[in-house]
Amino acid sequence: MATVVKPTKIKQKPHSKPNGDDEDRDEEEEPQFPLIAPIIFEPDTFDIVFILDNREIRSQQEHDDIVAQLADRGVHVEVRKLELGDALWIARRRDDSTELVLDYIIERKRMHDLVASIKDGRYVEQKTRMHHSGATHVVYVIEKYDSEALQAFSQARVTSRSRCRIWTMVARGRSWC
């Protein structure tokens, strides 16, 4: 299991005032991550795997269908519990099974669920957690939408923009595959 590194607070040096007066101001604290040695995966030493949250699979038949459709496209799929998102990509080293989460998180929502989560604030909270994960590519796959749901989404999105300004990509589709 990977260790989560949390930022620590460091004290900044006092700043000079604009008028040239060097009188100390209140010290500001700014979060900073400790230095971490990079983990390097050399070419041809790892596999790319699509990880699907086990809570997104409702039946063995659905599991088999998803895995088969993605396998037909050359994608290796594994199912496990994810703390964030419904799916993501990892790189897994072949010699020691070390895993690195790649820079994409996928969240799947039905249009009516997305509208409800925007209205009740869950969307902003989830979007913020995804932003803080460090992933720069967050993709929402929107399923089962129609013109009425699209209109409700447009209205809810205006509300959402005033609360949270974290960019995401949205892809519309019928299902995962």
Active site residues: 113
Q: Residue type for 150, please?
A: L
Residue 27 burial (CB count, 10 A)? 11
The Cα 67–Cα 51 span in angstroms is: 11
The Cα 59–Cα 64 span in angstroms is: 9
Distances (CA, A) of 3 to 40, 54, 59, 98, 99: 17, 22, 32, 13, 12
Residue 137 pairs in a beta bridge with 104
